[in-house]
Amino acid sequence: MRFLLLLAVLGVCWAQYDPHTQPGRTSIVHLFEWRWDDIAQECERYLGPNGFGGVQISPPNENVVIHDPSRPWWERYQPISYKLCTRSGNEDEFRDMVKRCNNVGVHIYVDAVVNHMCGNGVNAGTSSTCGSYFNPGSRDFPSVPYSAWDFNDGKCRTNSGDVENYNDVYQVRDCRLVGLLDLALEKDYVRSKIAEYMNHLIDIGVAGFRIDASKHMWPGDMKAFLDKLKNLNTSWFPEGARPFIYQEVIDLGGEPIKSSDYFGNGRVTEFKYGAKLGTVLRKWNGEKMAYLKSWGEGWAFMPSDRALVFVDNHDNQRGHGAGGASILTFWDARLYKMGVGFMLAHPYGFTRVMSSFRWPRYFVNGKDINDWVGPPNENGRIKPVTINPDTTCGNDWVCEHRWHQIRNMVIFRNVVDGQPFTNWWDNGNNQVAFGRGNRGFIIFNNDDWELSSTLQTGLPAGTYCDVISGDKIDNQCTGIKIYVSGDGLAHFKISNTAEDPFIAIHVDAKLHTKLNDSNFQKQ
């Protein structure tokens, strides 16, 4: 009996780290600023069939409407109320999306903005996505309701009321982040209103939450409202399943607030991941891919079972957040595909793929002054995501998750799930390879000369389709073929000028043949 009780307690303790993706699905995608209707369609027509485990959505609650500049993306991070009413859609459309995505095995993770309300400089009125009245000056948000009693104005120790020094943990957690009205999360009323909002989303059927600006909340205050959350909806999740929690904490080292402060509440975003990987693939500061042999905890990252990892996110692809110019994005497509390919092949962390929209970049003194531009729209209404005949997206939606190289690496990660990191090889510079047990193998050439090597793959003998240059269709390869001999060896050749200078093979991309595998020889 004691043993069963211990197991139950351990299950509860670990529950918030489990993304609850269906078996065989190991990655999620951030469909940044997509409409709920488009996400529902994408779950059914693409994400479900291609093995994606879930979608991180943009904040679904009512936000301020910003006219100067015209409807920036960051208005979504200035709440007015917890009504489900944004330019992505209303509550009925939200419910329909959650149901349709869950029904095809793709779960929804909500970007929850609960550290603050809108900025203190916003004018009072009803310029919000649901038309609710609000008055930031008097701290009046009647649609929640919040009043002046519910904010940290009297607790902040700076003259401006904003965070001025990130080495002062009290400022970071008790003062306003860039003027955003900081909620008093030590108050049970505020905690209860946040939990009420999140529980409403759980009732609808979401699987978990990205907690925005977690660094600006005390971990104990977060635990208090997270402890008030319900178990997940049993229409789609097991009895007693707890919401998946991953917290946005920017920790590149050098500040007193650490990612580890938040491990008790759930997983944490590992911002060092994209910053360091970008530096390596750009070959800055003498970094080489050969050094990636110890990638993960060996690079002073957080433990793998606490990490939510990504190459870029909606902030740092615009130069905000962390990583600066080292961050790889869709603007650097060749290196970006290599970075995402490496992430999805490597076992460290729980992986999130980015899906973006284009904006007209304009640099002044090295800074993109158009980094505020919102999603493709007509008169403030988000444009639908259109699909081109080649399955890429139109209407200025980038849809990196639909690039066949990234889609196929999402599938690769599913195929090799649970397999060990094996058969590392490098040339001492920027040609590297590694396997995932006996189910997958990947090799990169980021040097300025051709790669030509015979390597141990660990895979069964046979002919494999490279899933980067093409696909396996009707037992044929549309791209490069790789021959693995009976002893697991295969020869690889990758030009340094190749559009995609990497090759990935896995057991589900192996051709069926009447020949006995022992007939294959080393190439």
Which sequence positions are flagged as catalytic? 212, 248
Find out whether 492 and 460 touch, Cβ atoms under 8 Å. no
Quickly count: other Cβ atoms within 10 Å of residue 47's Cβ.
27
* Planar angle of CA 41, 47, 50, nearest 5 degrees: 140
List the structure tokens of 226: 């997270």
DSSP state of 177: B
Find out whether 174 and 156 touch, Cβ atoms under 8 Å. yes
DSSP state of 458: -
Longest dimension (CA), the chain: 80
Question: d(Cα 122, Cα 116) in Å, to the nearest integer?
Answer: 14
Q: Is the dihedral of CA 392, 397, 398, 400 positive or negative?
A: negative
C-alpha dihedral, 210 to 143 to 125 to 152, nearest 10°: -60
Q: Kindly give the pairing relationship between strand 27-31 and strand 350-355.
A: parallel
* Contacting residues for 243 by C-beta, under 8 A, at least 6 apart: 16, 198, 202, 206, 207, 208, 209, 229, 232
- 3-state percent breakdown (helix, strand, coil) of the chain, nearest 5: 30, 25, 45
Q: Is 465 left (phi over 0), alpha (psi -120 to 50) or beta?
A: beta
H/E stretch holding 517: none
Question: d(Cα 337, Cα 300) in Å, to the nearest integer?
Answer: 24
User: Residue type for 86, please?
Assistant: T
Find out whether 229 and 242 touch, Cβ atoms under 8 Å. yes
Say which residue the tokens 């975003």 belong to.
Answer: 269
| Backbone phi and psi for residue 151, each to the nearest 5 degrees, phi listed first | -125, 165
Find out whether 11 and 294 touch, Cβ atoms under 8 Å. no
Find out whether 490 and 457 touch, Cβ atoms under 8 Å. yes
